[in-house]
Structure 1
Amino acid sequence: MSKSNEMIRLATRKGYNISESGEVLNPKGKVVKGTIIRAKNCSYKTFAINDKGMSRPILVHRFVAYRKFGEVALVAECIKHINGNSLDNQPNNIELGTYKDIYERTKKEKGGTKSCL
């Protein structure tokens, strides 16, 4: 099991959740302040939880997918943002997919330029 998937499961066991607007909620129901990282040509929201004295980052869109789809999200080829906005993590904007889906959609919509999904 990857460390990322392990941390997603741990966050769930600790009581972290997702709001309808795609914000991460701590076990007390408060919005978790995260950070934005840049990966490839996209920006993604992350949050961190402590595990054995170390802070471990979790990609918010992957956590949303896990809360929405369960274990199948951890083995999905990729997690897609339906509207193409990699910072929009609302559950209704997240779906499971393949890199081929992203390539075909990007090619059709952007004339072949890379976008975040």
Structure 2
Amino acid sequence: MSKSNEMIRLASQKGYTINIAGEIINPKGQKVRGSIRKTKNSSYKIFGIAYQGMSRPILVHRFVAYKKFGELALEAECIRHLNHNSLDNRPDNIDIGTYRDIYNDSGAKIS
């Protein structure tokens, strides 16, 4: 299992959850601030949890998918933002799918 999936499971076991706005809620019931990780084409929200004396990052959209779909999300090829806004992590905007789904949603023509 990947370290990322391990951290997602651990965060859930520790009591982290999500609200309808796609924000992370810590075990004390407070919103987790987190930060943004920029990639070449997108930006993603992340948050960290302590593990073995270090803070480990978790992508918020992957955690939301795990809370919504359970183990199926960890086995999915990718996690999709239905409105194509990588910072919108509301559960109703998150789905599991394939990279082909994302390509098809982009409006690209396949010849």
**Matched positions, count:** 109
| Distance in 1 of aligned mates of 2:54 and 2:83 | 34
TM-score by length of 2: 0.95
| Distance in 1 of aligned mates of 2:102 and 2:59 | 19
Number of the residue aligned with 2:99: 99
Identical amino acids, percent of aligned pairs: 65
| Distance in 2 of aligned mates of 1:20 and 1:100 | 28
> The residue matched to 2:56 in structure 1 has which SS?
strand
Deviation at 1:80, TM superposition (A): 0.3
The letter of the residue matching 2:46 is T
TM-score by length of 1: 0.91
The letter of the residue matching 1:21 is A
Number of the residue aligned with 2:42: 42
Number of the residue aligned with 1:56: 56
| Distance in 2 of aligned mates of 1:45 and 1:31 | 13
Q: What stretches of structure 1 move > 2 A for 4+ residues in a row?
A: none
Instruction: Trace 1:76-87 onto structure 2 (pairs within 5 A).
Output: 76-87=76-87
Deviation at 1:40, TM superposition (A): 2.6
- Give yes or no for the alignment of 1:32 onto 2:70: no
* TM-align CA RMSD: 1.0
Q: Structure 2 unaligned runs (5+)?
A: none
